[in-house]
Chain A
Amino acid sequence: MFFKRSKVDKSKAAETAAEPASSPSEIAEVAQAPAAPPHAPTEHVEPSLPRGAHMTSSGATDPASLGFKTTADLEPAHGPVGQDKAMEALAFGAGIRGPGYHMLVIGREGTGRRTAARAKLQEVAEKAERPADWIYVSSFDPTGGFRALKLPAGTAKPFAEKVALAIDQLADALPAAFAADDYDLKRRTIEEEFRFSREDALEALRREAEGQNIALIRTPAGIAVAPVLEGKVVKTDVFNSVPEALRREVETKIAALEAEIEAILAERPDAEKERRARLVALNEQVAGRHVRAALDDIKAEFAEVAGVESYLKAAARDLVRNASLFVSVAGTQTSNVARGAGSHPRFARYAVHVMATTSAAAGAPIVQEPNPTYANLFGRVELGAGAEAPSHVVRIKPGALHRANGGYLLVDGNALLESPETVEALRRALDAEEIRFDPPVSPIGAVGDEVPDLEPIPLNVRLVAFGSAETQRRLAASNGSLRRIFKVEAVFEHAVERTKETVETFARIIAGVIDKQGLRPMDAAGVALLIDEAAHRAGAKGKLSLLISDLIDVCREADHWANSEKRDVVSAADVERALHQSKARGGRPGLAEAS
């Protein structure tokens, strides 16, 4: 180990180097041995190191042979060392057209496979066309479902904002329009016309009855018919004193008038229907004008986009039909009615849910989902309910599949396998090439089977799963169908042959880490120590470990020590100290991904 080796004096190191190399099993044993305390005696037996490129006779890396003073002299490298086959597979998988070429990236943690895969995908993605945006909008039908609309790349958010603004404008304009004198007078005129038509009929009947000495009298409960004489209701004793034939005649007339009154009042349902139809027409006329004004600009701007016009038409119809919602909401709020009134639960149906959108500069999206649960992959629907509105969709949150649509979705294979339902749903989605919302558990707020019907969205994504050989086996065992869709496998080795070229690339990778992390340059001796550590960790003769993630922590900590001593260059002593501290904490530096 570096720390121990650093305590060995040069002459002893030379002796050790002269000894025959240890067997691989010995090396492995040493690699797993617990770290000695910093003050351990130097006579401890050092493992033999394999000889190879840039090595001194003692088996250590010769800093002088590396050909640079500090890493500042090197061209930083970010790619992996000696992973040609894996990189070739990634390039193939990223670039090939056609569905089904999903990728399984296999290798140990820390080999830089994620960084390498991402970098390779990025190269291809940058050149790819930006995928279209997708939104969900209400279908405005009795099912309460949602239509998926495809919009040109980058326009989903502006579209959603414009619709929200239109709803806010209507929340202002409609209450004002319906409170206007003009509207009120028209409405009341219709109401009164309806009432007058009945009154007129009753008035005509009243006059007709008057000629027959019969009166229509209003009572607190309605209308009654009475025999009259000189404008007064006849008293019963007077009535009874007239001949029976005359009484019967009057009673017959009264019965006939009652029938006519009943007929007039019975017309009410038809008249009522007509009255309602005229009021609806008036409301539509008033609301329609404002709704058209609010939506016309959006309609014009998105005229070329399939489906938008029909959506806006349906929305306009619904807005006109439900204009009273705006009026009643305005009536229940204070003066600042309009601000954000569109976000009132009653207007939830007009919300545009952006499922996928890309920024202006982006090509194809690359989305990494560290926790590939169903909700995180397929999205989530949140339902709300309350006194203000019946059960309604508050939000449709996109999943990683929506965000990655048209690009690449990176998931951790082991995490994915935690949920067989999700694995199966993902396989179905990739097979059918569509995102269908069919969650294994009800959405938030759903009661019973109130899962809204979301139109499936066409899916065109390249799945990239990361795992180990064990993941590969588990995948085959748990879901053979999914295993088969991974037509591309990129296997990252954890160690490569120690050659002149790999050692030099390794040094450039260290320069890359330093460059990326913004650290001080490291001198050649420090780099040599790191190369030795990599050789040691490879656990086999003539190999170099590729666990790049370890490098980052060591470089950072070494930089810290150089900084504490106000030096501009990280030295071998700093590296040594970093390794020592790390081991004193209980082992190797953390295996964080080099991504």
Chain B
Amino acid sequence: MIAHVAAAGERRGRVVLWLGGSAEASRFAIEAAMLLGQAFQAEVESLYVEDKQLFDLADFPFARVIGSTGEGWRPLPQATLEREMRFAAAALHRQVAEAGVVASVPCHARVVRDEPLRAVSRACAENGPWNVVIVGEPLKPGDEARLAELFERVRDTTGAVIAGPLARRTRGSVVAVVEEFERLGPMLKSAQRLATVTGGDVKLTLVGNRRDELAWMEGEARLLCADGDDGELAGFDSVLAANDDPAPLAAVLQRHKPGFALAQYGGRLIAPGASLRPLTAALECPLLLVR
């Protein structure tokens, strides 16, 4: 993961911005891509995936589509689908390119017609393991299966960034929610790098089952910070989480109002297969989920 890049002293990685799931793309996801690009001197690949299955569907005489505003069904011939895809891809790529110019981050654009996750997986595999996938489409409460599938199928990635439906910030402090001690160092370093571009400090949230475990983690974290020169640590939060309830961690994200957040995929905040509703209701910034 990019945290590994930071920990290993690597200077480069790649950000794959996955677009095309629908016409909707979160501008906060695009901004998150640029921040990662700036923080890790990475380039951004804007990948628009034309879902191949849609073209299979368009072959059927009964293929129809209805707009999200419910204005009625209309036929979905291949030609129409292709045209709509082309225009949507062009518009999104232009948006990304403009953001890249502003952030001085090199951006590349690509359109592929494939099954979406396979396309993302291939794009990551082409350039080695130091990828982060940014999900362009805003996360929905029912997207847990999709997210799980992303982590399962896209292997050459260190993590994925999601932006929720309530996203509103990409500036300010960086909150790192650390649930396992072995992840502390890499996540802390990643957070410190991100904080240099979000314009805030780092707030470390340590999560443990026992008080002594938490105290020990905090002590170690302080030692790590004292050794490093990557930035200041503004604060610690210790959350005693005796069960898998994500609510206390979601509350931390709400309380600190960060510009960026880091958490572990598969931890308490996002357990595989669990509903994303508590998170989507609290998340106001991009969240980097590390493996």
Contact = CB atoms under 8 A, between A and B. Distances in A.
Interface of A: 181, 184-185, 188-189, 192, 195-196, 199-200, 203, 217-227, 232-236, 239, 251, 254-255, 258, 261-262, 264-266, 268
Given A189-B166, A189-B281, A199-B142, A220 B62 contact: no
Contacts of A220: 20, 22-23, 84-85, 87-88
Given A220-B85, A265-B68, A181 B51 contact: no
| Main DSSP-derived SS at the B contact region | loop
Contacts of A236: 56, 59-60
Contact of B54 (A192, A219, A261, A268): A219
B65 interface: yes
B143 to A, nearest CB: 9
B81 interface: yes
B65 A232 contact: no
Contacts of A218: 21-22
Interface in B33-78: 51, 53-54, 56-57, 59-60, 62-70, 72-73, 76
Contacts of B142: 199-200, 203
B141 interface: yes
In this complex, the member of A185, A261, A264, A268 whose beta carbon has the largest number of chain B beta carbons within 10 angstroms is: A185
A196 B81 CA distance: 27
A533 to B, nearest CB: 90
Contacts of A239: 60
B56 A234 contact: yes
Interface in B174-206: none
A228 B93 CA distance: 31
B166 A224 contact: no
B59 A262 contact: no
Contacts of A219: 22, 51, 54, 65, 76, 81, 84
Given A199-B142, A219-B81, A220-B22, A181 B257 contact: yes
B140 interface: yes
Contacts of A184: 168
Interface residues of B, number: 38
A233 B166 contact: no
A266 B70 contact: yes
A220 B166 CA distance: 22
A185 B56 contact: no
A258 B73 contact: yes
A199 B60 CA distance: 26
A203 B165 CA distance: 16
Nearest to A259: B73
B62 A268 contact: no
Contact of A223 (B66, B88, B165): B66
Nearest to B70: A265
A500 B186 CA distance: 118
21 contacts: A188-B165, A199-B141, A217-B57, A219-B76, A220-B20, A220-B22, A220-B23, A220-B87, A221-B67, A222-B66, A224-B54, A224-B64, A224-B65, A226-B60, A226-B63, A232-B53, A233-B57, A234-B56, A258-B73, A264-B70, A268-B69
Contacts of B67: 221-222
A261 B73 CA distance: 10
A411 to B, nearest CB: 65
B185 to A, nearest CB: 32
Contact of B70 (A196, A217, A221, A262): A262
A192 B166 contact: yes
A199 B68 CA distance: 11
A221 B64 contact: no
A268 to B, nearest CB: 5
Contacts of B73: 258, 262
A220 B23 CA distance: 4
Contacts of A264: 70
B279 to A, nearest CB: 13
Contacts of A234: 56
